[in-house]
Structure 1
Amino acid sequence: MFNWIVSTIESLGVPGLGLLMLLENIIPPIPSELVIPLAGYLSAQGRFSPILAFLAATTGASLGALFWYWAGRRLGRDRLRAFATRRGRWIGFTIDDLTAAEAWFERHGGKIVFLGRMVPGIRTFVSIPAGIAGMPVTRFLLLTAAGSALWTGLLMTGGYVLKAKYDLLATWIDPISTAILGLVVLAWLWQVVRPRQKTRG
């Protein structure tokens, strides 16, 4: 998986980084914790501008979040819960994910839109209850972009500072990331084949 991410960024450059971050926020298995530090490392090597890489990653993450926001706003709670129950398991979007995201949003409101950008698992689906609740899109984008920018900046700085040591990390990052991907695939297969659960109220 590590090598695939490296080849994607190296072949597509900054737009490829933005694309990976957009996909990471729509379909969770692409980890930003691996993508963004790598972008910082490649920027330190002079492969591309760190500023452009930062802007591309932040923009891609924000657009990916906007996808789920509009899903929540256009489809509404009942239709999304019905979709999560019948078809959501095909894309890793379960009724439990939606219930958890709604609970987080009800408890924390706009704060979770900002802070959720930095929490794996939460950041993908926290946009949905914001859309369902009708949060103004401008406020949603500002909170999302701010949270994404902070998360991207922290991870890129880490990758940039590592520089030459990143090559050493790659020797163990690759098998670990491959193992994680394998677990994600197994979890997805389990969601697909297990018996459906009844919709919760």
Structure 2
Amino acid sequence: MRVLTAVTEGSQDLGGVAGWAVDMMEKLGAPGAGLMVALENLFPPLPSEIILPLAGFTASRGDFTLAEALAWTILGSTVGALALYYLGQLFGRQRMYWIWERLPLVKTEDLEKTEAWFGRHGRKAVFFGRMIPIFRSLISVPAGIERMPMLQFLGLTFAGSAIWNTVFVVAGYQLGENWHRVEGVVGTFQWVVIGVVAVAVIGWVMVRVRSIRTQRQE
């Protein structure tokens, strides 16, 4: 395992996801990187901030070219997103409403507003959502539920994934054995996103609880 040996000699002890990713890319080449990125869409615990820089790093070692790394990882992102799109279609609007109406603290009109918002901003959500941790995978599901035109979904997903993947693959390619520095930067950004979402959810719950109490007192 030439790449793994090289990294270990660089004082980076690869294990877990990173070690498995390097092993897959050495065995399958650039298609292995694409496969892992596709799986990352379906299983978010496989972090793209590790897989993509590793793909760039592996390309820098000569196992495949940078162009191959970019092409296969972008293809993998698009295929993985398409699988979730079809899952959203299979789930369907009626099932979504059936479940929503049985959730606490929510109203049917909330979902109707969300649908209306997606109708107005769905294209932006799919494009920019591909560049936001956590939402990168999830955004494909409502696109499928709302039956966004397939070619439009594929085009926006491909474009958004191309930007995101290129940044990380090229960073890994340029940093070489220091590819792991990318993870720290993205990890901080991800926690910021989680914090903002958590605050928004808590605020929404508080407003909804107050609204329900007010209605009961009337």
TM surpasses 0.5: yes
Query: Separation in 1 of the partners of 2:177 and 2:142?
Result: 42
2:124 matches 1:108: no
User: Residues 107-142 of structure 1: CA distance to partner in whole angstroms, max 9, x if unpaired?
Assistant: 732101011111111011111111121211000000
1:165-176 paired onto structure 2 within 5 Å? 165-166=178-179, 169=180
| CA-to-aligned-CA distance 1:55-93 (integer Å, 9 cap, x gap) | 110011101101111122233133357689xxxxxxxxx
TM-score by length of 2: 0.64
Structure 2 residue 69 is the aligned partner of structure 1 residue 60: no
Are 1:159 and 2:172 counterparts? Answer: yes
Q: CA RMSD in A?
A: 2.7
Give the number of the structure with larger relative contact order, counting CA–CA contacts within 8 Å between residues 6 or more apart: 1
Deviation at 1:161, TM superposition (A): 0.9
Quick one: distance in 2 between partners of 1:128 and 1:136? 13
Preserved contact between residue 61 and residue 148 of structure 1 (Cα < 8 Å): yes
- Pair 39,82 (structure 1): closer, same or farther in 2 beyond 3 Å: farther
Q: Secondary structure at the match of 2:29?
A: helix
Aligned in 2, Cα 1:81/1:50: closer, same or farther, shift over 3 Å?
farther
Give the Cα separation in 1 of the matches to 2:165 and 2:121: 22
The structural deviation recorded for 1:165 is 3.0
Q: In 1, are the aligned partners of 2:42 and 2:137 still within 8 Å (CA)?
A: yes
Q: Which amino acid aligns with 1:67?
A: A
Q: Which runs of 4+ in 1 moved over 2 A?
A: 77-84, 102-108
Structure number with greater Rg is: 2
- Cα separation, 2, equivalents of 1:82 and 1:124: 23
Partner of 2:163: 150
Instruction: Say whether the 8 Å CA contact 1:14–1:56 is kept in structure 2.
Output: yes
Partner of 1:181: none
Q: Which runs of 5 or more residues in structure 1 are unaligned?
A: 85-98, 177-201
Q: Name structure 2 gaps, 5 residues minimum.
A: 1-15, 101-110, 188-218
CA distance, structure 2, for counterparts of residue 136 and residue 155 of structure 1: 29
Give the aligned residue type for 2:146: A
Q: What count of residue pairs does the alignment treat as equivalent?
A: 156
Shift of 1:13: 1.3
Q: Look up the match of 1:79.
A: 95
Partner of 1:94: none
Q: Is the 8 A contact 1:105 1:126 kept in 2?
A: no
Residue 52 (structure 1) shift:
1.2
So what's the TM-score if we normalise by structure 1? 0.69
Aligned counterpart for 1:70 among listed residues 86, 93, 98: 86
The worse-fitting range, judged by mean Cα deviation, of 18-27 and 74-83 is 74-83
Q: 1:81 to 1:58 in 2, by over 3 A?
A: farther
Map of 1:17-32 to 2, 5 A cutoff? 17-32=33-48
Once the two structures are superposed, residues 23-42 of structure 1 have per-residue CA deviations (whole angstroms, 9 ceiling, x without a partner) of 10111111111101111111
The percentage of aligned residue pairs carrying the same residue is 42
